[in-house]
Amino acid sequence: MISVLLVYILMGFLLYEAVQRTIHMKYEINGDIMLITAAIGVAVNIIMGFLLNQSGHHHTHSHSLPSDSPTTGPRFGHSNGQDSLAVRAAFVHALGDLVQSVGVLIAAYIIRFKPEYKIADPICTYVFSLLVAFTTFRIIWDTVVIILEGVPSHLNVDYIKEALMKIEDVYSVEDLNIWSLTSGKPTAIVHIQLIPGSSSKWEEVQSKAKHLLLHTFGMYKCTIQLQSYRQEVDRTCANCQSSST
């Protein structure tokens, strides 16, 4: 998040300068220096983007259900190798710089041979700023979800509950909490009630629930609390009873 916020601060300064240049138009640009700088920027950011992309793929692995699985849904499916948010932020930063450098390179060619079209310089900054805003919003959102302990977007709590309910000897799923410790490390705590007379099978139920959460839904860690069946009895208020009699 700090990495992205620093980019926003830089973007703010660049936008301010671009607006000033658009309003006043009292500036000179050395086309040759701009051209050389942009060319170096393109080369460096291509290398950075390639290295960061390789780093992200190196840590990627996935878990998914078969296509005919009854628990598959529109929001289900998991790629547990969601790259580190820091790597993603750095990659988006490098990609944004690459696009900006290409834009500056084009603007430099225009200004080099047509100096009267120097407005291309601030226009390039506007385009870059929009690109940065759109490409970094998802990173900020994912970071906020982790900080606030929200459910990861690739997991569907209802489908996970349905899958747990299909385990033999499970009467109900009393509680299910899912959040992320960090990017790509979802964690779950579940409270399961067993059907009447199945308390002796708790180890089997626990093993199946653990396998489902860890290997099917790709949880990093899970805690499973089991409870024997307890019949709920409606307790009528004494005052209500007296009034009804």
pLDDT one-digit tens code per residue, 52-73: 777 655 544 444 444 344 333 4
Sign of the CA dihedral running 21, 22, 26, 28: positive
Q: What is the pLDDT of residue 163?
A: 94
- The span from the CA of 176 to the CA of 181, in Å, is 16
Q: What is the pLDDT of residue 143?
A: 87
- Summarised one tens digit per residue, pLDDT across range 182-206 is 888 899 999 999 998 888 889 999 9
- The span from the CA of 212 to the CA of 167, in Å, is 9
Please count the residues of the chain.
245
Q: Which helix (H) or strand (E) holds 138?
A: helix 120-147
Read off φ and ψ for residue 232, nearest 5 degrees: -85, 125
Q: What is the pLDDT of residue 127?
A: 85
Domains and CATH numbers, the chain: 1-56+84-148 (no CATH), 157-228 (3.30.70.1350)
What percent of the chain clears pLDDT 90, i.e. is strictly above it?
Answer: 26
Reported as a pLDDT band with limits 50, 70 and 90, residue 233 is: very low
Q: What is the pLDDT of residue 239?
A: 55
- The span from the CA of 124 to the CA of 90, in Å, is 21
CA atoms within 13 A on the CB side of 102: 9
CA atoms within 13 A on the CB side of 148: 9
Q: How far is CA 58 from CA 40, 89, 185, in A?
A: 27, 16, 16
Q: What is the pTM of this model?
A: 0.61
Average pLDDT of the chain, as a whole number: 79
Check if the beta carbon of residue 56 is closer than 8 Å to that of residue 79. Answer: no
Q: What is the pLDDT of residue 67?
A: 39
Q: What is the pLDDT of residue 240?
A: 53
Reported as a pLDDT band with limits 50, 70 and 90, residue 77 is: very low
- The span from the CA of 8 to the CA of 14, in Å, is 10
Judge whether residue 222 has pLDDT over 70. yes
Q: What is the pLDDT of residue 4?
A: 82
Reported as a pLDDT band with limits 50, 70 and 90, residue 231 is: low
